[in-house]
Structure 1
Amino acid sequence: MKTILRIRPRLSFLPQQPHRHIASRIAARHLTSGNYRVPAPFNEPNLHYAPGSPERQQLAEAVATLKQRLPVRVPAQGGRAAGDSQGEAVSTYLPSDHQVKFSEYGCVSEADVTKAIDAALQAKKVWQDMTFHDRASIFLRAADLVSGKYRFELIAATMLGQGKNPWQAEIDAAAELADFFRYNVSFAQEIYDRQPTVNSPSHHGRTDWRPLEGFVYSVSPFNFTAIGGNLVSAPALMGNAVLWKPAPMTAYSSWIVHQILLEAGLPEGVVQLVNGDAKLITETAMAHREFSALSFIGSSDVFRSLWAQAATNVAQNKYRDFPRMAGETSGKNFHLLHPSADTVNAAKHTVRASFEYAGQKCSACSRVYVPESQAPVFFEQMKKELARLKVGPAEVSTAFTGPVIDKKAFDKITKLMDSAEQDDRLTTIAGGTYDGSVGYFIDPTIYVSNTPDHPLFDTELFGPVLTAYVYPDNDFDSVLDLVDQQGGGFALTGNIFANDQTAIRKAENRLRYAAGNFYVNCKITAAVIGQQSFGGARGSGTCDKAGSSGLLLRFTAPRTLKEEYGKLDEVLYPSNFDA
């Protein structure tokens, strides 16, 4: 496996002040750069890792090489070299084998966080004045590094550290990450192109799409390597400075992403990657007067607490700005079958949506509503498909469902499963079993509830557990209300399986606020950037839609300008004169 080389970008920053010759060079570039157009984005083609394929062999080699290096040492700050722990080291372990240490990452102190923020703000002084074309080129170059030079290294890190099988790691750490970098460039171009189209004679109006005046604090989750890349690229591309706190299990994969950005030419200091105690980092960041935005992916409860913390600081006038709060959080997502549905197709989609990556996607299906006439076929097909699936370590190519991420998640899910097995309101259709002796493995599990108001329809588990309700065919209309009311107050993803167009239209209308991403006759996972932007409302977040210009807009502070070319001849208006 190739080792990432630290290549110092051509634009580097000192903590004290930006280089004057760099600033003057950028100013000169503004005079000569013209009106460049960025290239059209495209979705990164997926590799499929079929037996005997070259990519399967390359990935196997990358995984084997990474295993030989375990535990990998990750610095407390992303700009440092691997092995430079800085502070007390914290260990993470393989989800598939909790006796094997995967990484040791250093921890920043409160002083380190403050210095990182100050350095980012200093770097921003030059970064925000760089032409958009130059900033875009860095992220487009990073996309090619992700899809080429570092593809298998990133995928191997995601497989081992986050428990994803080759396909799930491919669509995340390679394809989606590259897509975010490329499409965010086009979304930024879309925003910069938004200029006034109407001007009065001798008047000229325009919009200056300024970055936020302070810094953006980005917090990324364990389940997607690509999300961290998006939480960084969206604000940075618009000229912002970013403090990035990744989840512990992604410390190594996030460090690789950061190194790729530096190799692509991102000036040091613009993105400050910090590892360590989440509470310490967050409190330090959000207590800073220059805190201008939170970009967060994680649980709804945590996001609410951070919002409350920011609101308290706003009330006490601790910030210069009113900070932006952008979040994509929890979900209790649904599949809904109409009596006219292709039931076999719906069952296949439901298996993928519920049990790929052990149900640890924000968009995963965890509740399903099945008409009584279709229930026997639906559950029989589900059991048929589950009989073909294997549960096992991510690096075993035949494993469809891998481990859940850690002991905390395993204990939470299995405790509920133990309770469910004793619940006379529930019938176990499949699974209900687990084994944590080596890795955190939970078998795909389906419960059917004989009551429509079971707590499982509202409880987010973030694991491979699906709860079903079988409804009388004639109750479809009332089930629409049930679907809308349940789900723990979340509204992330949902769908309808039907061949009756009237039923499809009715579901789309009645469930308009039940899901930020709504699908017809397909599973509710795997939104593709550029094709389906992603994000929910209600308790699932701020619906800013990652994979769209909407998210990037949150990190701008637009200034409107007006220029007049004529002279004012008279102060009084015609109505001020007497006849």
Structure 2
Amino acid sequence: MMSRVAHGIASSKRLRLLMHGLSAKSGHNNRFFVKFWARSSSSPPTLAKANPARNVFEVEHFPLVSIANEKVLNYEVGSAERKSLEDELLNVLNNVERVPILIDGEVYSGGREANQVIPFNWKQPIARYEQAHRVLIEMAAEKTARAQETWDKTKLCKRMGIWNRAADLIAGKYRFKIIAATMIGQGKTVRQAELDVADLVDFMRINPIFLRDLANYEPLNDQPEVCRNQMRLRGLTGFVAAISPFNYTSLAANLAFTPALMGNTVLWKPSDSSILSNWFVYQAMQEAGLPSGVVNFVPAAATDFATVITQHSKLAGINFTGTASVLKVLWQQVAQNINVFHNYPRLVGDCGGKNFHFVHASADPAAVVACTIRGAFEYAGQKCTSCSMLYVPESLWKTQIKESLLKITKTLFVSDATFCDCFYSAVIDKNAFKRIQMYLKYINDNPTCEVLIGGTCCKKQGYYVDPTIVQITDLNDRICKDELLAPILCVHVYPDAEVMQTMEKVARVNHGLIGSIFANDTEFIKEASDTFKLNVGNLNINDKCTGCTVGKQPLGGGHITGTNDKIGSPHTLAELDTQSAIK
């Protein structure tokens, strides 16, 4: 919702306009048009000496609207939503969808064919697609850049209307289709996929509300009878490249379509491992009325795509979520070609980092265990916010946490994602499996590591990794610093008397999107909040480090975990546009 300050500025400005006789009339879709005249003079103007030449600008203002998150469905036995989802699961399983390269409304052939397979049954494909070659990516970038000027002229209210229709379509007609593709194609349980699509609906509904706030902002106008100051939003000149991850259908769509909401045109490279769900979202946007060419759907090899876009003179920005190593490569490529670009490209990037739970002696052990198991093992630890490190005081570890943590972890059911009692399923693909297998071997060979449970994996049918808990003594070890994206939880037990030294060490070695503090000691919570102020972008108190909700907990980390533009807030939208100041 609009802040009180922004609301006050916008409201008082409209009141002054009416008082001074400027024209204000209500328009369609509950917006207001304000027409004003920009006056030019070499000296402070007066009404009598006002320049008769008048430039009329049309500016959209919007009333306040409330924000509400999408309702999450429970899929009870016998419910209508459960039956609808079962039907869509069968459709996805029994068909191999042909997913095109779509540029400016036309289908193109990339020449290199690939399949998206089921993570928990890698022999079965669910989608067949082609990867664009470099010449085709170059052509797509050029077409995307050319479309920007026309799309940027589209009124904000019309763009908002498209996004609101898309939200309704995704919440209704497309909901179970997208959830089924997310469950089967990305290995998410029904609960995780439902939460993902609810977030997607929230992005589509709430980002236009954030845009209203930005549009309603006006600079100070303390002499409206002689001077008008105005800010006008516009898209970035050129094209924005969106590079999306496999683990969230909602984040993938947000990366591609939020820049378009702000007046940009987008070249979208979806992840090879989430092609199907991303394509269904794209179809929903098409049905909602998004014009052809505003967002172009271009599956491609990561290196080909990155090479072409970072050498293209009309690159206006990159919107990215993935690993820190890839973000660094993109940043380096942009820097190397800085003299090529017509703009300074905007780089917006979020990575996972090393998220952690830090436990104080005053914490509730039961809450620590429950939150840590969910934070570490839901979606096989593949969330960008998954808990990878647990810091526990000696006074709680052996007596109140260790036994419960291991006992519950042992009961977790790892299987086919479509089974209702499945806690998590296979990891996303063979590359992820090989990387995790390498880490498990490293852990098993490491004298500073003790495997308490798990430590095994199997790819006979699916890419399965057992839930693994490792106790580690050396905080300088790479396993305490690397982003694992795996169902591996590392535990470090510290002496109670060294809590402050341990926190300071964590602040130096763990850079994550989110850190969580578990304590009932108010003074400690204050101290820990100050200590972890810089190494994480989000800090949770007595809650797991996963589960951010759009509009409630804006997400983004600093340091090597990203540019901290806070997805799910107006700040991200402001990064994806540019402004004109008019006097």
Shorter-chain TM-score tier: 0.7 to 0.9
Q: TM-score, normalised by structure 1?
A: 0.88
Does structure 2 conserve the Cα–Cα contact (< 8 Å) formed by 1:188 and 1:552? yes
Q: 1:476, CA displacement in angstroms? A: 1.1
Task: Give the aligned partner of residue 226 of structure 2.
Answer: 202
Task: Give the aligned partner of residue 462 of structure 1.
Answer: 485
Q: 1:92 aligns with which of 97, 116, 123?
A: 116
Paired residue secondary structure (2:469): strand
Task: Give the aligned partner of residue 17 of structure 2.
Answer: none
Task: Give the aligned partner of residue 148 of structure 1.
Answer: 172
Cα distance change on mapping 1:356 and 1:34 into 2, 3 Å:
closer
Q: What does 1:6-405 correspond to in 2, within 5 Å? A: 35-37=61-63, 39-69=65-95, 71-77=96-102, 86-172=110-196, 174-200=197-223, 202-314=226-338, 317-376=339-398, 377-405=400-428
Paired residue secondary structure (2:420): coil
Cα distance change on mapping 1:296 and 1:204 into 2, 3 Å:
same
Paired residue secondary structure (1:516): strand
Code of the residue aligned with 2:242 in structure 1: it is S
Q: Deviation digits for residues 114-151 of structure 1, max 9, x if unmatched?
A: 33223323332222111111100100110111111010
1: CA distance, partners of 2:316 / 2:422: 43
Task: Give the aligned partner of residue 15 of structure 1.
Answer: none
Cα distance change on mapping 1:63 and 1:294 into 2, 3 Å:
same
Does structure 2 conserve the Cα–Cα contact (< 8 Å) formed by 1:379 and 1:429? no
Cα distance change on mapping 1:153 and 1:289 into 2, 3 Å:
same
1: CA distance, partners of 2:123 / 2:34: 56
1: CA distance, partners of 2:154 / 2:480: 50
2: CA distance, partners of 1:204 / 1:45: 43
Cα distance change on mapping 1:439 and 1:395 into 2, 3 Å:
same
Q: Deviation digits for residues 424-480 of structure 1, max 9, x if unmatched?
A: 322222211222111011111001113333321112211000101111112111111
Q: 2:577 aligns with which of 536, 539, 556?
A: 556
Code of the residue aligned with 1:558 in structure 2: it is Q
Paired residue secondary structure (2:127): strand
Does structure 2 conserve the Cα–Cα contact (< 8 Å) formed by 1:85 and 1:105? no
Paired residue secondary structure (2:371): helix
Code of the residue aligned with 1:339 in structure 2: it is A
Does structure 1 conserve the Cα–Cα contact (< 8 Å) formed by 2:185 and 2:273? yes
Task: Give the aligned partner of residue 439 of structure 1.
Answer: 462
Paired residue secondary structure (2:447): coil
Task: Give the aligned partner of residue 452 of structure 2.
Answer: 429
Q: 1:80, CA displacement in angstroms? A: 6.2
Q: Deviation digits for residues 177-217 of structure 1, max 9, x if unmatched?
A: 01111111111111111211343462211111121111111
Q: 2:553 aligns with which of 532, 544, 561?
A: 532
Cα distance change on mapping 1:500 and 1:455 into 2, 3 Å:
same
Q: TM-score, normalised by structure 2?
A: 0.87
Does structure 1 conserve the Cα–Cα contact (< 8 Å) formed by 2:178 and 2:277? yes
Q: Deviation digits for residues 60-90 of structure 1, max 9, x if unmatched?
A: 2211121110x322112277689x7652211
Cα distance change on mapping 1:101 and 1:85 into 2, 3 Å:
farther
* 1:509 paired to 2:530: yes
Paired residue secondary structure (1:462): coil
Q: 1:175, CA displacement in angstroms? A: 0.2
Task: Give the aligned partner of residue 3 of structure 1.
Answer: none
Task: Give the aligned partner of residue 442 of structure 2.
Answer: 419
Q: Deviation digits for residues 354-381 of structure 1, max 9, x if unmatched?
A: 0000000110000010011110211212
Unaligned runs of at least 5 residues, structure 2: 1-32, 36-57
Does structure 2 conserve the Cα–Cα contact (< 8 Å) formed by 1:139 and 1:233? no
Does structure 1 conserve the Cα–Cα contact (< 8 Å) formed by 2:60 and 2:215? no
Task: Give the aligned partner of residue 570 of structure 1.
Answer: none
Code of the residue aligned with 2:394 in structure 1: it is E
Q: 1:290, CA displacement in angstroms? A: 1.1
2: CA distance, partners of 1:505 / 1:35: 41
- Aligned length, in residue pairs: 527
Code of the residue aligned with 2:321 in structure 1: it is I
2: CA distance, partners of 1:34 / 1:515: 37
2: CA distance, partners of 1:154 / 1:561: 43
Calculate percent identity across the aligned residue pairs.
35
Paired residue secondary structure (1:492): strand
Q: 1:33, CA displacement in angstroms? A: 9.5
2: CA distance, partners of 1:35 / 1:416: 54
Does structure 2 conserve the Cα–Cα contact (< 8 Å) formed by 1:76 and 1:276? no
Q: 1:111, CA displacement in angstroms? A: 3.1
1: CA distance, partners of 2:473 / 2:289: 58
2: CA distance, partners of 1:330 / 1:95: 21
Q: Deviation digits for residues 40-72 of structure 1, max 9, x if unmatched?
A: 332111012233333222212211121110x32
Q: Deviation digits for residues 480-501 of structure 1, max 9, x if unmatched?
A: 11210122xx331101000001
Does structure 2 conserve the Cα–Cα contact (< 8 Å) formed by 1:303 and 1:327? yes
Cα distance change on mapping 1:383 and 1:218 into 2, 3 Å:
same
Task: Give the aligned partner of residue 40 of structure 2.
Answer: none
1: CA distance, partners of 2:512 / 2:157: 37
Does structure 2 conserve the Cα–Cα contact (< 8 Å) formed by 1:78 and 1:258? no
Q: 1:265, CA displacement in angstroms? A: 0.5
Paired residue secondary structure (1:77): strand
Code of the residue aligned with 1:450 in structure 2: it is T
Cα distance change on mapping 1:117 and 1:440 into 2, 3 Å:
same
Cα distance change on mapping 1:354 and 1:211 into 2, 3 Å:
same
Does structure 2 conserve the Cα–Cα contact (< 8 Å) formed by 1:77 and 1:275? no
Unaligned runs of at least 5 residues, structure 1: 1-28, 563-579
2: CA distance, partners of 1:120 / 1:419: 45
Code of the residue aligned with 2:513 in structure 1: it is L
Code of the residue aligned with 1:141 in structure 2: it is R
Deviates more, 1:226-235 or 1:452-461: 452-461
